Every structure is written in C-alpha cells, then in structure tokens.
C-alpha cells in the first residue's frame, strides 16, 4: 500500500510530481512560442492527450505515432499511424509551423534512427521543440529509480520487474528487458550532434539538469 500511495503521488495523480513537471514544461513551451495558439504543430511520437491537456492548444495538431489512432479524434487534430523516423511522403509535404517532440528521442532504437528522426524534425518546419530526459540526472525518469540508467542491462531488467514506481509496471522478464533496451538516455554532446543549429535549453530540478530541449525559434 505504501508503494501504491508513493506511485500515485509521483506518477499517476493529476497533481503528481510528474504531472507538475509536464505542466511546467508546457508553460515554458508557450513562453517560447507565444503564437502557438495560431500554429499547425506536428507532434512526432506523441499522443493526442498531450494537446487535450495543454495550457494553450494549437489551432491544428498532427500527431505521428506507431500506435493505432484513437477511435475519436477532435476536428482540430489529425492522428497519423506512421514511423517518425521514416515518414510517409504525404506527411513530409505537409505545411507545419512547429515540430514538437516530448520524451521520444530516447526510445527510437539507436543512433542511426535518432539521426533520421532529428533530420525529420529539422526539415518539417522552421521551428522545433524536441525534449529528452538528461542521462546524468540522478533519477532515471521512466522508473523513478535512483541511478538505474548506469546499471548493467541484467540489473536494470531485474529492477524494472520489481521496482514499483515505473510508468509501465511489468513482471515479465521479456517485457522488462524490452523496455530497458528501448530506453537510451542522451547527454548534451549527443543532442548538439543531432541538432547542431538549435539552442539547447536545460530543464532543471533542484538546480540539477533533468532534461534537454533542442529549440529553434
């Protein structure tokens, strides 16, 4: 019960620590792009719910995700089932004001796919906001586990099976190692390599860098 209450406060609740961080980042996005309410935003790898909860909703949102689109999509949005690292032509020829991505870059499956994703983000619009958790923040953000990202795969997998605060709890070894291997946190050098012409913003918690955001405005 204690773990469940802690998980609710840190992850699940609308007032959780994770939810407050998302709202802070959303407010920062609006300050960076004050005209976002008039924009057509393409969200690479995101979900529609992000924009339904947003502080300021863009005029038009195109969401690209590998998942099956939801049954009901509001008229201001379009959901495209596609790979953001290999976009179909009808998506690449669209007209967008801003490319947005939140906590996706670390789940793409390696350097080559991150290169392709970054190239798409830079080419789809003149402006972009691409966020990813910082590798050297002391708490791994997907499992809310101190130092987990620095452990060998075997220990990370064992921890993923047992740690109660992860965003996607699992008891299966196969599911746990899948999650572990598909989570590769990035550092500043990598972000500068993928986004050489962007400003690199640093989101901090208690003075420590928590996430990195490549911005072209």
Look up residue 83 and give its two tokens: 């790979």
Condensed to tens digits (0 to 9), the pLDDT of residues 108-157 reads: 999 999 999 999 999 999 999 999 999 999 999 999 999 999 999 999 99
CATH of the domain at 15: 3.40.50.150
Full residue range of the structural domain in which residue 147 is found:
143-182
Q: Is the separation of the CB atoms in 44 and 104 below 8 Å?
A: yes
First to last CA, the chain: 46
Residues 46 and 121 in one domain: yes
| pLDDT over 70 percentage in the chain | 91
Query: What is d(CA 132, CA 138) in angstroms, rounded to the nearest whole number?
Result: 15
Which one of 13-22, 164-173, 197-206 scores highest in mean pLDDT?
197-206
Residues 134 and 147 in one domain: no
Please, which pLDDT band fits residue 90 given cuts at 50, 70 and 90? very high
Condensed to tens digits (0 to 9), the pLDDT of residues 145-179 reads: 999 999 999 999 999 999 988 877 788 999 999 99
């Amino acid at each position: 019960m204690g773990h469940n209450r802690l998980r609710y406060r840190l992850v699940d609740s609308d007032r959780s620590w994770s939810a407050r961080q998302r709202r802070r980042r959303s407010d920062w996005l609006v300050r960076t792009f004050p005209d976002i309410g008039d924009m057509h935003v393409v969200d690479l790898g995101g979900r529609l719910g992000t924009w339904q909860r947003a502080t300021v909703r863009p005029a038009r949102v195109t969401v690209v995700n590998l998942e099956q689109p939801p049954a009901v999509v509001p008229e201001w949005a379009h959901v495209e089932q596609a790979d953001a690292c290999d976009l179909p032509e009808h998506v690449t020829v669209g007209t967008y004001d801003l490319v947005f991505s939140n906590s996706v870059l670390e789940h793409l499956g390696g350097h080559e796919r991150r290169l392709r994703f970054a190239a798409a983000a830079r080419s789809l619009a003149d402006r972009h906001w691409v966020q990813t958790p910082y590798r050297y923040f002391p708490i791994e953000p997907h499992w809310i586990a101190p130092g987990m990202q620095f452990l060998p795969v075997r220990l990370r997998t064992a921890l993923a099976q047992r740690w109660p605060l992860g965003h996607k709890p699992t008891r299966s070894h196969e599911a746990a190692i899948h999650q572990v291997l598909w989570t590769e946190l990035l550092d500043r050098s990598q972000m500068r390599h993928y986004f050489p012409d962007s400003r690199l913003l640093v989101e901090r918690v208690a003075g420590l860098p928590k996430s990195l955001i490549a911005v072209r405005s």
